[in-house]
Amino acid sequence: MRQVPGEPPAVKLACRNLWKIYGPRAADFAASGRLGAGERAEVRRQLHREGHLAAVIDASFEVRVGEIFVIMGLSGSGKSTIVRCLSRLVEPTAGHVLLDGVDLLQANARQLIELRRHAMGMVFQNFGLLPHLTVLDNVAFPLRIQGKTAAERQARARDMIQLVGLEGREGAYPHQLSGGQQQRVGIARSLAVGPGLWFLDEPFSALDPLIRRQMQDEFLRLQRLLQKTIVFITHDIVEAFRLADRIAIMREGEIIQIGRPADIVLKPADDYVAAFTEDVPLLRAISAGDIMEPAPGPQVEGRPAATVAAATSLEELVPLLAAGTPAFAVVGEDGRPLGIVPAAAALAVLARERARRRPQ
Tens digits of residue pLDDT in 105-148: 999 999 998 888 889 999 887 778 999 999 999 999 999 988 89
Q: What is the pTM of this model?
A: 0.87
Query: Within a domain: residue 57?
Result: no
User: If we measure between CA atoms, which residue out of 207, 205, 144 comes closest to residue 181?
Assistant: 207
Q: Which domain holds residue 295?
A: 284-357
CATH of the domain at 334: 3.90.1280.20
Rounded to the nearest 10 degrees, the angle between the axes of helix 343-357 and helix 314-322 is 110
Q: Is residue 197 part of a domain?
A: no
Weakly modelled stretches of the chain, pLDDT under 50: 4, 298, 300
> What is the distance between the alpha carbons of residues 170 and 281, in angstroms, rounded to a whole number?
40
Residue 353 lies in a domain: yes
Q: Residue 37's pLDDT is what?
A: 61
pLDDT of residue 27: 81
Classify residue 118: in a domain, yes or no: no
Asked if residue 184 lies in contact with residue 165, where contact means CB atoms within 8 angstroms, the answer is yes
Residue 4: the pLDDT is 47
| Number of structural domains in the chain | 1
206 Cβ contact partners less than 8 Å away, ≥ 6 residues apart: 125, 126, 179
Q: Is position 297 within any domain?
A: yes
Q: With beta carbons less than 8 A apart as the criterion, state whether 306 and 320 touch.
A: yes
- On the 0-12 / 13-18 / 19+ scale of CB atoms within 10 A, 37 is exposed
Q: Is residue 291 part of a domain?
A: yes
* Per-residue confidence (pLDDT) for residue 31, from 0 to 100: 75
Angle at 150 between CA 148 and CA 153, to 5 degrees: 60
Q: Is residue 73 part of a domain?
A: no
Q: Classify residue 222: in a domain, yes or no.
A: no
